[in-house]
C-alpha cells in the first residue's frame, strides 16, 4: 500500500503541477483581459465625455452629473452583512429613484460567513460594481492595496465634478490614503466640528435600570462602587424573582473571545478615562479608576450579584431576558434592545428601562460617551470591475446630495411624504406604519435598509419623533457624547506583525477578563492582572503601541488637531 | 409467514416486545419534543414569545412569523431552484457514483489499487475555496445552475458505502449472467441496481438532503438572485450577527434582521425543512422492510 | 483535454505489456464505468489541490498563490508552539473519542432494536420521528439548549424537582460538563439519521437465515447477535474506519454555539481555533497549514484503522 501511495503521489504531483500551470495561466490571462476591457471602455467613455463637455462649452456652475444620463443601468452591489435584505424595484423609494436616475440595483448579500465571500471575490478579482462594508474590515485595505477599487477623486475628476460639491471635505481627507486619494465614502459620518454645530448628537452607550424597581428602591445613587453594590444588593433582596425566575442584578453585553464590550471602552467612557496621557496613547486597562471598578464587579460576583447567565448568554437569550425585565441594571447599548424595550412598554410602561447616571470616577465626573465618529459606519467603494464607472460616481454624488438624501429617505413627494405643518415628513398613513408595523413599512416604503450613503446630519430633519418607550434613553445621552474619531482606526492589518500581536493580546484579554471577575479575592485579582500585563508585554505590546502612536499622529494631521 | 412468527412468541419475547416498545416511545418523545417546542414557538406572537415559557402550546397564537417569511416574493422562486436542484442533483449523483462504485468494486479491475488510493486522498485533502473558485470560473460554471449539479455529482465517501453494499451481493448472480453473455453494463443495470434499492435509497436521501440544505454554493458561486436556492435565501435570517464593531458603530435606527424576532427564525427553520422531511416516508419503504416483510432476495 | 492525456499516462505507468491490452479489452465496460469518475476526481479534486502550497507560504489574497513568498514550516511551528495547542488537541480528541465510543454504537443498537418492532406502522412512525432532529439547525438548537441548560432552565427545574440535584447548576458554565453536553446533544441529533444506513443494510439480510435460526430455537437477542449483526458488519466496519479517521474533526456549528467564556478551557477545539485565527483574521496560510496537519493525521488514522479492522474482522475499505 505504501509503495502505491508513494507512486501515486509522485504521479499526481506531476499532473497537478501541469494542471495548475494550465489553470493558473488561463485565469491570469482572463483577469488581464477583463481589466484591459474595462480600462479601454473607460478610455472610450472618458473621451466621449470630454467631447460632450467640450461641446457644451464652459459653464461655471457644476451640474449634478447624474442628470446627464438617466438611461437604464443595473449595478451589482455587494453588501458585506449577511442579514441584509432589500428588494430593489419593489419598494416605493427604490421605484422612485430608479425612475428618476435610471439606476437599478441588484444587491448581492452573503449568507453565513461574510469574509469567505468577500475574500473569494477579492482573490479571484470578481468583485461586483459596488462594495459596501464596515470601515473596520480588513477587506477595505486589501481592495485598496490590491488596486481593485477606483479612487473616488479619479472618477469625480473624470466624470462628475459635482461629487466635490456634495462630499464632505473632512470625510474625504479622513479617508485619504498615502497616495493622496480617497477610495471609499462612509455613511453616517459625523466630523468632530459637527459636535459644536448640532446639539442633539446622541450616543448609543447607556447605563439603564428598571424604572419601577429603581423607584421602589428610592432612586439610589449608583455612581460610586459602594452605592452601586448596595443598589444591586437591595434590588436582589427586594425583588428576588421576576415572573417566577430569579432576578439578574446586573446585565452586560455578550462575552466574546476578546472580552466584553460593556467592561472595556464602554466602562472607561463612563469613568471619563482619557485615551491619551502625556502625549501618549493611554490604555484604560492601566487606569486605577478602571481597576477600581473591575474590582467592584469582582466584589459583586463574590456577593453573588453576578449571575452565571451573563457569561453564558448570547444575544438571543439576553434579548429574551430583557423583554422579561429580568435584569435590574444593565451596561448595555440602548440601540440593542429596542424591540425588548417596546415589549416591556406594551405590557407595563412602568417596567421599562431608563437611563440613569452609572459608574463614575472618584471625582464623579460626568461620563464621556462615544458618539458617532467621522469614520461613520460602512464604507462604499466602486470597484474596477464596474462596467459604468461614470454612472456609478454620479449615482454616488446623487445619493450624497441633499436631493438624493431626501429621495432615499422620504421617497416621492405626494406619494410617501409631503410638507405638513411646514415640515417635510411622511404622510400620516406611512408615519403610522413606521411606528406600528416597522416590517411592513420597510417592505412597502423601504427607507431604512437604504443606508449605504446615508447622512444622519441631513436625515435628522425628517426622522420621526422617537417613541415613548425609547425617548428617555436617547435624550439622556445628549450632551454626553464625545467624538473619539481619531482613535477609531488604530487597528493594524490583521496579517501584519502588529496585527498578529493585537489579536494575541485581544485573545489574552478575552481569557483574562472572566478570570478577573471570578477571582476569589482582591489579591487573586491583582495576581491575575499582573500576569496579564506580563504576558501582554511578552506578546509584543510595545511594538503594537508604537504602531498605533504613529497611526494616531497621522489621524491628528488629517483632522488638523495638534 | 407472519402467523408463524406470532405463534412462536414465548413469554420472554412478549416481555422483550413490551420493553422495546416502551424504549421506542421514550426515544420518540425525546426526539419529538424539541421539534414541537420549535413549532409552537414559531406559531406564537413574536413579542409575547420573548417572555419565554411556551412549552406545550402557543400562548398567543399568531401566523405573523410565517407571513414575514413568505412576505418576500423571491422565496417561491428560490423554492423552485432548490426543488430542481435537489431532484436533478440527486439523480445524477446516485447514478454516477453508483456506476463508478460498481466498476471499482471489482477486485480484479486493473489498477484498482491506484484508483482507490487516489479516491482516498480526496477524502482528506482539498485545495480550499479559492482554487476551487478559480477552477469553476475557468470551467464557466459560475452563476449557472449546473454549478449545483456537476461539482456534486461524485463523492468518494458515498462510493465506499455503495461498495460495501455491492460486495454483499453474491457473485453467483453475476457470474451466471456473464455466462449468458451479458456485459457489465447490463449486469449493473439489470441485476445490481434492482438488488440495491436500500443503499440507493439511502444515498439518495443523504444526497437529496445535502442538496436541499446546502446554502454555501449559492453564496459563493452564484450572484444571480434568480438562481439562489432557498437555504441561501433564508440562511441569513437564522445566522446571528456578532461583530461588536458592527453594533458599536451602527447608528441608531438601523435594524438588523437577526435582532428582529426569535419566532421568525424558528418559522424560517420550519419552512425550509418541512418539504424535505415530507420526502422521507416515500423513501422509507426501501429501508424499513426488515425480516417480517421478507427480504429483497426473497 | 489536458485531463484525457493524464488518464492514459496513468494507465501506461501501471503496466506496459501486451497482457495489459488484452485485459483492458476484457474489462473495457468496467473501465467505461470507472474512468469518468477518475476524470471527475482529477478535475474537481486534484486540480485545485495546488492551493495546499499556501500552507508553506505567506499568502495574502491580493497576490496569486504562486507569487506569495515562501514561509517554510513557519505556520506549522506557530501552531505547535501556541499556548492553546495542547488544550485544543486534548479537547478535540476527547470530545471525538466520547462521540466515537458512545455515538458510534448507539445508532447501530437503535437500528437493531427498531428492526425488532413487529408493528410496521409503529416502526415507521418511530423512524420518521427519530430522524427529525437532524433537520434542526445548530444555531437555533444551540439557542434553545442555552436556555434549557441555564440555572433557571427547564433541565435544572426537572433535576431539582426529581431530587437528583440539590441546587441548580449552570451546565454550560462549567468546563467539566462540556464534553458530555457536546457528546449527548450530538448523539441525540444524529441517532435516527445515522441509523438509516444500518436499517438499509439490515433490510438486505436474508430472511431464510432468520427462519432457520428460529427452527434452531434461537431467541431474539441470539438472532440479533449472530445473524443481523454479522450481516451488517461490512457496513459497520467501513463506517467505523471512516469515523476513526475523523478523530480530529469536531462539530463546528455545534461547538460554536455552545462555547462561552466560562467553558473555553474545555470547548476550544481545532476547528474553532482555525476559524478564529485563520478565517476571522484572514490568516489563510495559517488556516491551511492547520488544515493540512489535520488531513495528514486523518489519512494516517484511516490507514491504521483500516489495517486493524482488516486484521480483526477481515473487512476493510479497499
Name which of B46, B253, B251, B50 is nearest A435 in CA terms: B253
Q: Is the pLDDT at B3 greater than 60, yes or no?
A: no
* B122 shares its domain with B223: yes
User: What is the per-residue pLDDT across A460-499, written as a single tens digit (0 to 9) for each?
Assistant: 888 877 788 888 999 999 999 998 888 888 889 887 889 8
* pLDDT classification of A24: cutoffs 50, 70, 90: very low
Q: Is C219 exposed, middle or buried (0-12, 13-18, 19+ CB in 10 A)?
A: middle
Q: Half-sphere exposure of residue C272, counting CA atoms within 13 Å on the CB side?
A: 25
A149 DSSP 8-state letter: B
| Shared fold status for A30-41+62-197+374-479 and A204-370 | yes
Q: Which of B13, B33, B62 is where one domain is finished?
A: B62
Residues of A in contact with B233 (CB under 8 A): 111
Q: Give CA C19 to chain center in angstroms.
A: 41
* pLDDT for the residue numbered C172: 92
Residues of C in contact with A83 (CB under 8 A): none
Domains of chain C: 1-56 (no CATH), 77-144+173-313 (1.10.3720.10)
* B7 shares its domain with B125: no
Where is pLDDT greater, at B45 or A395?
A395
Which residue among A24, A113, A308 places its CB closest to the CB of C173? A308
Nearest residue of chain C to residue A496 (CA atoms): C283
Where is pLDDT greater, at C318 or A246?
A246
Q: How far apart are CA A390 and CA A38, in angstroms?
A: 12
Q: Which residues on neighbouring strands pair with residue A160, listed in sequence order?
A: none
Specify the CATH number for the domain of residue B168.
1.10.3720.10
* pLDDT for the residue numbered A7: 61
Q: Are B237 and B268 in contact (CB under 8 A)?
A: yes
Domain span including residue B113? 68-284
Q: Is the pLDDT at C83 greater than 90, yes or no?
A: no
Question: What cell numbers appear for C63 in the block?
Answer: 497576490
Please report, rounded to a whole number, the percentage of residues in chain C having pLDDT higher than 90.
44
Structure ipTM: 0.86
Q: Is the pLDDT at C8 greater than 60, yes or no?
A: no
Cβ of A261 within 8 Å of Cβ of B260? The answer is: no
User: What is the per-residue pLDDT across C16-67, written as a single tens digit (0 to 9) for each?
Assistant: 677 778 888 888 899 999 999 999 999 999 999 999 999 999 888 888 888 8
Q: Is the pLDDT at B46 greater than 70, yes or no?
A: yes
Question: What cell numbers appear for A462 in the block?
Answer: 425628517
* B51 shares its domain with B122: no
Q: Which residues contact A13 (CB under 8 A, 6 or more apart)?
A: none
Question: Average pLDDT for residues A186-190, to the nearest whole number?
Answer: 92
User: What is the per-residue pLDDT across A227-238, written as a single tens digit (0 to 9) for each?
Assistant: 999 999 999 999
* B196 shares its domain with B244: yes
Q: How far apart are CA C41 and CA A385, in angstroms?
A: 33
Residues of C in contact with A148 (CB under 8 A): 62
DSSP assignment of chain B equals -HHHHHHT--HHHHHHHHHHHHHHHHHHHHHHHHHHHHHHHHTB-HHHHTT----SS-SSB--HHHHHHHTSTHHHHHHHHHHHHHHHHHHHHHHHHHHHHHHHH-TTSTTHHHHHHHHHHHHH----HHHHHHHHHHTT-TTSTHHHHGGGS--HHHHHHHHHHHHHS-HHHHHHHHHTT--HHHHIIIIIHHHTHHHHHHHHHHHHHHHHH--HHHHHT---GGG--HHHHHHHHHSPP--HHHHHHPPTT---HHHH-HHHHHHHHHHHHHHHHHHHHHHHTTTS-TTTT--TT-
User: What is the per-residue pLDDT across C101-142, written as a single tens digit (0 to 9) for each?
Assistant: 999 999 999 999 998 888 888 988 898 899 889 988 888 888
Q: How far apart are CA A208 and CA A469, in angstroms?
A: 13
Question: What cell numbers appear for A491 in the block?
Answer: 487597528
* pLDDT classification of A53: cutoffs 50, 70, 90: very low
* B31 shares its domain with B168: no
Subunits that touch chain B (at least 3 Cβ pairs < 8 angstroms)?
A, C
Residues of C in contact with B55 (CB under 8 A): 154
What ranges do the domains of chain A cover?
30-41+62-197+374-479, 204-370, 490-562
* Apex A534 CA angle, A532 and A538, nearest 5: 115
* B161 shares its domain with B207: yes
* B35 shares its domain with B161: no
Question: What cell numbers appear for C66 in the block?
Answer: 504562486
User: For residue B296, is it within any domain?
Assistant: no
* B10 shares its domain with B96: no
* B86 shares its domain with B231: yes
Tell me the CATH architecture of domain A204-370: 3-Layer(aba) Sandwich (3.40)
Question: Average pLDDT for residues A62-88, to the nearest whole number?
Answer: 89
Overall number of domains in chain B: 2
* pLDDT for the residue numbered A60: 56
Cβ of A83 within 8 Å of Cβ of B258? The answer is: yes
Name which of B270, B254, C281 is nearest A84 in CA terms: B254
User: Across chain B, what does the average pLDDT equal?
Assistant: 83
Q: Is the pLDDT at A38 greater than 80, yes or no?
A: no
Cβ count near A165 (within 10 Å): 15
User: For residue B144, is it within any domain?
Assistant: yes
A-interface mutation test, from C3, C144, C261, most A Cβ less than 10 A away: C261
Q: Is the pLDDT at A396 greater than 50, yes or no?
A: yes
Q: Half-sphere exposure of residue C112, counting CA atoms within 13 Å on the CB side?
A: 20
User: What is the per-residue pLDDT across C275-314, written as a single tens digit (0 to 9) for each?
Assistant: 887 767 778 888 899 999 999 999 999 999 999 999 988 8
Q: Which residues contact B298 (CB under 8 A, 6 or more apart)?
A: C207
* pLDDT classification of A176: cutoffs 50, 70, 90: very high
User: What is the per-residue pLDDT across B108-118, written as a single tens digit (0 to 9) for each?
Assistant: 888 899 999 99
> Which stretch of B253-267, C39-53, C129-143, C168-182 has the lowest confidence by average pLDDT?
B253-267
Cβ of A120 within 8 Å of Cβ of B68? The answer is: no
Q: Are B132 and B221 in contact (CB under 8 A)?
A: no
User: For residue B298, is it within any domain?
Assistant: no
* pLDDT for the residue numbered C32: 92
* B167 shares its domain with B252: yes
Cβ of B260 within 8 Å of Cβ of A8? The answer is: no
Q: Is the pLDDT at A22 greater than 50, yes or no?
A: no
Q: Is A379 exposed, middle or buried (0-12, 13-18, 19+ CB in 10 A)?
A: buried
User: For residue B295, is it within any domain?
Assistant: no
Q: How far is B135 from chain C (nearest CA, A)?
A: 7
Name which of A219, A253, A223, A216 is nearest A237 in CA terms: A216
User: What is the per-residue pLDDT across C184-205, written as a single tens digit (0 to 9) for each?
Assistant: 999 999 999 999 889 888 887 8
> What is the model's pTM?
0.85
CATH superfamily for domain A30-41+62-197+374-479: Periplasmic binding protein-like II (3.40.190.10)
* B203 shares its domain with B267: yes
Nearest residue of chain C to residue B194 (CA atoms): C204
Cβ of B109 within 8 Å of Cβ of C27? The answer is: yes
Q: Which of B41, B62, B83 is where one domain is finished?
A: B62
Q: Is the pLDDT at A9 greater than 70, yes or no?
A: no
Go through chain A and tell me how many residues it has. Answer: 562
Name which of A177, A175, A170 is nearest A146 in CA terms: A177
Q: What is each CA distance from B209 to A111, A443, C128, C135, C187, in whole angstroms?
A: 19, 32, 14, 9, 19
* B86 shares its domain with B152: yes
Please report, rounded to a whole number, the percentage of residues in chain A having pLDDT higher than 90.
59
User: For residue B83, is it within any domain?
Assistant: yes
Q: How far apart are CA C217 and CA C211, in angstroms?
A: 10
Where is pLDDT greater, at A52 or C266?
C266
Amino acid at each position: 500500500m505504501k509503495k502505491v501511495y508513494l507512486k501515486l503521489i509522485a504521479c499526481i504531483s506531476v499532473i497537478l503541477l501541469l494542471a495548475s500551470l494550465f489553470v493558473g495561466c488561463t485565469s491570469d490571462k482572463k483577469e488581464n483581459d477583463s481589466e484591459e476591457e474595462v480600462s479601454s471602455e473607460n478610455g472610450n467613455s472618458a473621451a466621449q465625455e470630454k467631447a460632450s463637455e467640450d461641446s457644451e462649452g464652459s459653464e461655471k456652475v457644476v451640474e449634478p452629473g447624474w442628470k446627464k444620463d438617466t438611461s437604464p443601468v443595473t449595478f451589482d452591489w455587494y453588501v458585506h452583512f449577511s442579514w441584509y435584505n432589500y428588494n430593489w424595484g419593489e419598494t416605493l423609494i427604490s421605484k422612485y429613484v430608479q425612475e428618476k436616475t435610471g439606476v437599478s440595483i441588484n444587491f448581492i448579500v452573503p449568507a453565513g460567513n461574510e469574509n469567505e465571500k468577500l475574500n473569494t471575490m477579492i482573490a479571484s478579482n470578481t468583485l461586483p460594481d459596488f462594495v459596501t462594508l464596515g470601515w473596520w474590515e480588513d477587506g477595505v485595505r486589501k481592495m485598496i492595496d490590491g488596486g481593485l477599487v477606483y479612487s473616488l477623486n479619479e472618477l469625480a475628476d473624470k466624470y462628475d465634478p459635482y461629487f466635490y460639491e456634495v462630499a464632505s471635505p473632512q470625510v474625504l481627507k479622513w479617508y485619504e490614503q498615502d497616495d493622496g486619494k480617497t477610495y471609499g465614502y462612509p455613511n453616517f459620518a459625523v466630523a468632530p466640528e459637527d459636535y459644536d454645530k448640532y446639539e442633539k448628537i446622541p450616543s448609543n452607550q447607556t447605563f439603564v435600570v428598571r424604572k419601577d424597581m429603581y423607584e421602589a428602591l428610592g432612586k439610589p445613587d449608583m455612581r460610586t462602587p459602594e452605592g452601586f453594590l448596595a443598589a444591586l444588593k437591595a434590588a436582589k433582596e427586594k425583588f428576588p424573582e421576576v415572573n417566577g425566575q430569579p432576578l439578574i442584578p446586573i446585565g452586560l453585553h455578550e462575552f466574546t473571545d476578546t472580552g466584553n464590550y460593556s467592561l472595556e471602552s464602554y466602562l472607561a467612557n463612563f469613568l471619563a478615562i482619557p485615551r491619551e496621557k502625556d502625549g501618549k496613547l493611554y490604555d484604560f486597562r492601566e487606569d486605577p479608576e478602571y481597576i477600581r471598578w473591575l474590582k467592584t464587579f469582582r466584589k459583586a460576583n463574590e456577593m453573588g450579584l453576578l449571575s452565571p447567565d451573563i457569561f453564558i448568554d448570547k444575544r438571543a437569550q439576553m434579548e429574551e431576558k430583557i423583554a422579561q425585565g429580568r435584569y435590574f441594571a444593565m451596561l448595555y447599548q440602548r440601540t440593542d434592545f429596542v424591540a425588548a424595550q417596546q415589549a416591556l412598554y406594551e405590557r407595563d410602561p412602568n417596567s421599562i428601562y431608563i437611563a440613569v447616571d452609572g459608574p463614575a470616577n472618584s471625582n464623579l465626573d460626568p461620563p464621556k460617551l462615544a458618539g458617532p465618529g467621522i469614520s461613520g459606519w460602512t464604507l462604499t467603494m466602486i470597484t474596477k470591475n464596474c462596467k459604468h464607472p461614470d454612472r456609478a460616481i454620479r449615482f454616488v454624488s446623487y445619493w450624497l446630495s441633499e436631493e438624493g438624501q431626501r429621495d432615499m429617505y422620504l421617497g416621492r413627494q405626494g406619494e410617501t411624504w409631503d410638507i405638513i405643518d411646514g415640515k417635510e415628513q411622511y404622510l400620516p398613513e406611512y408615519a403610522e406604519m413606521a411606528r406600528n408595523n416597522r416590517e411592513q413599512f420597510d417592505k412597502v416604503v423601504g427607507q431604512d435598509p437604504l443606508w449605504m450613503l446615508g447622512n444622519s446630519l441631513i436625515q435628522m430633519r425628517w426622522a420621526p419623533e422617537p417613541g415613548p418607550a425609547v425617548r428617555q434613553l436617547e435624550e439622556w445621552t445628549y450632551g454626553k457624547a464625545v467624538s473619539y474619531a481619531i482613535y477609531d482606526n488604530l487597528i493594524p492589518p490583521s496579517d501584519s506583525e502588529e496585527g498578529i500581536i493585537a489579536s494575541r493580546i485581544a485573545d489574552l484579554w478575552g481569557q483574562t477578563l472572566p478570570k478577573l471577575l471570578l477571582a476569589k479575592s482582591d489579591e487573586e485579582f491583582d495576581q491575575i492582572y499582573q500576569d496579564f500585563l506580563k504576558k501582554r508585554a511578552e506578546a509584543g505590546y510595545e511594538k503594537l503601541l508604537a504602531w498605533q502612536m504613529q497611526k494616531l499622529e497621522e489621524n491628528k494631521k488629517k483632522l488638523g488637531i495638534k | 409467514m407472519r402467523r408463524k412468527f406470532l405463534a412462536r412468541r414465548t413469554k420472554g419475547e412478549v416481555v422483550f416486545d413490551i420493553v422495546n416498545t416502551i424504549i421506542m416511545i421514550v426515544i420518540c418523545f425525546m426526539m419529538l419534543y424539541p421539534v414541537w417546542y420549535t413549532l409552537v414557538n414559531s406559531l406564537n406572537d413574536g413579542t409575547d414569545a420573548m417572555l419565554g415559557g411556551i412549552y406545550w402550546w402557543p400562548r398567543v397564537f399568531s401566523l405573523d412569523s410565517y407571513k414575514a417569511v413568505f412576505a418576500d416574493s423571491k422565496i417561491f422562486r428560490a423554492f423552485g431552484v432548490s426543488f430542481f436542484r435537489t431532484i436533478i442533483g440527486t439523480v445524477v449523483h446516485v447514478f454516477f457514483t453508483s456506476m463508478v462504485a460498481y466498476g471499482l468494486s471489482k477486485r480484479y479491475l486493473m489498477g484498482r489499487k491506484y484508483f482507490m488510493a487516489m479516491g482516498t486522498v480526496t477524502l482528506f485533502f482539498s485545495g480550499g475555496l479559492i482554487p476551487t473558485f478559480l477552477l469553476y470560473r475557468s470551467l464557466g460554471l459560475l452563476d449557472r445552475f449546473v454549478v449545483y449539479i456537476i461539482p456534486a455529482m461524485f463523492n468518494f465517501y458515498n462510493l465506499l458505502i455503495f461498495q460495501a453494499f455491492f460486495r454483499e451481493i453474491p457473485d453467483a448472480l453475476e457470474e451466471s449472467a456473464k455466462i449468458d453473455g451479458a456485459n457489465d453494463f447490463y449486469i449493473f443495470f439489470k441485476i445490481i441496481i434492482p438488488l440495491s434499492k436500500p443503499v440507493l435509497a439511502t444515498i439518495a436521501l443523504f444526497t437529496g438532503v445535502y442538496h436541499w440544505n446546502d446554502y454555501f454554493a449559492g453564496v459563493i458561486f452564484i450572484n444571480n438572485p434568480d438562481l439562489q436556492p432557498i437555504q441561501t435565501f433564508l440562511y441569513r435570517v437564522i445566522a446571528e450577527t456578532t461583530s461588536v464593531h458592527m453594533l458599536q458603530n451602527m447608528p441608531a435606527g438601523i435594524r438588523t434582521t437577526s435582532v428582529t424576532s426569535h419566532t421568525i427564525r424558528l418559522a424560517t427553520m420550519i419552512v425550509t425543512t418541512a418539504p424535505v422531511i415530507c420526502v422521507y416516508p416515500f423513501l422509507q419503504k426501501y429501508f424499513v422492510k426488515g425480516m417480517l416483510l421478507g427480504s429483497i432476495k426473497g | 483535454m489536458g485531463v484525457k492525456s493524464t488518464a492514459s499516462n496513468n494507465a501506461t505507468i501501471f503496466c506496459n505489456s501486451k497482457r495489459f491490452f488484452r485485459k483492458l479489452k476484457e474489462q473495457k465496460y468496467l473501465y467505461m464505468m470507472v474512468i469518468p469518475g477518475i476524470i471527475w476526481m482529477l478535475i474537481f479534486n486534484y486540480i485545485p489541490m495546488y492551493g495546499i502550497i499556501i500552507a508553506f507560504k505567506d499568502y495574502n489574497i491580493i497576490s496569486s498563490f504562486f507569487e506569495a513568498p515562501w514561509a517554510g514550516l513557519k505556520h506549522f511551528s506557530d501552531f505547535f508552539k501556541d499556548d492553546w495547542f495542547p488544550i485544543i488537541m486534548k479537547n478535540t480528541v476527547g470530545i471525538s473519542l466520547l462521540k466515537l465510543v458512545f455515538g458510534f454504537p448507539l445508532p447501530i443498537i437503535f437500528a437493531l432494536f427498531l428492526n425488532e418492532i413487529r408493528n410496521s406502522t409503529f416502526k415507521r412512525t418511530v423512524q420518521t420521528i427519530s430522524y427529525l432532529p437532524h433537520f434542526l439547525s445548530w444555531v437555533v438548537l444551540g439557542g434553545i439548549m442555552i436556555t434549557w441548560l441555564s440555572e433557571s432552565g427547564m433541565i435544572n427545574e426537572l433535576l431539582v424537582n426529581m431530587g437528583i440535584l440539590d441546587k441548580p447548576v449552570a451546565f454550560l458554565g462549567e468546563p467539566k460538563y462540556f464534553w458530555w453536553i457536546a457528546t449527548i446533544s450530538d448523539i441525540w441529533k444524529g441517532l435516527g439519521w445515522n441509523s438509516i444506513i444500518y436499517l438499509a443494510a439490515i433490510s438486505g439480510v436474508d430472511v431464510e437465515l432468520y427462519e432457520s435460526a428460529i427452527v434452531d430455537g434461537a431467541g431474539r437477542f441470539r438472532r440479533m447477535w449472530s445473524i443481523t449483526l454479522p450481516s451488517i458488519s461490512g457496513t459497520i466496519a467501513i463506517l467505523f474506519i471512516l469515523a476513526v479517521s475523523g478523530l480530529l474533526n469536531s462539530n463546528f456549528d455545534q461547538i460554536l454555539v455552545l462555547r462561552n467564556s466560562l467553558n473555553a478551557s474545555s470547548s476550544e477545539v481545532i476547528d474553532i481555533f482555525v476559524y478564529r485565527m485563520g478565517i476571522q483574521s484572514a490568516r489563510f496560510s495559517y488556516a491551511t497549514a492547520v488544515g493540512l496537519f489535520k488531513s495528514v493525521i486523518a489519512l494516517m488514522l484511516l490507514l491504521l484503522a483500516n489495517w486493524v479492522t482488516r486484521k480483526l474482522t477481515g473487512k476493510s475499505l479497499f
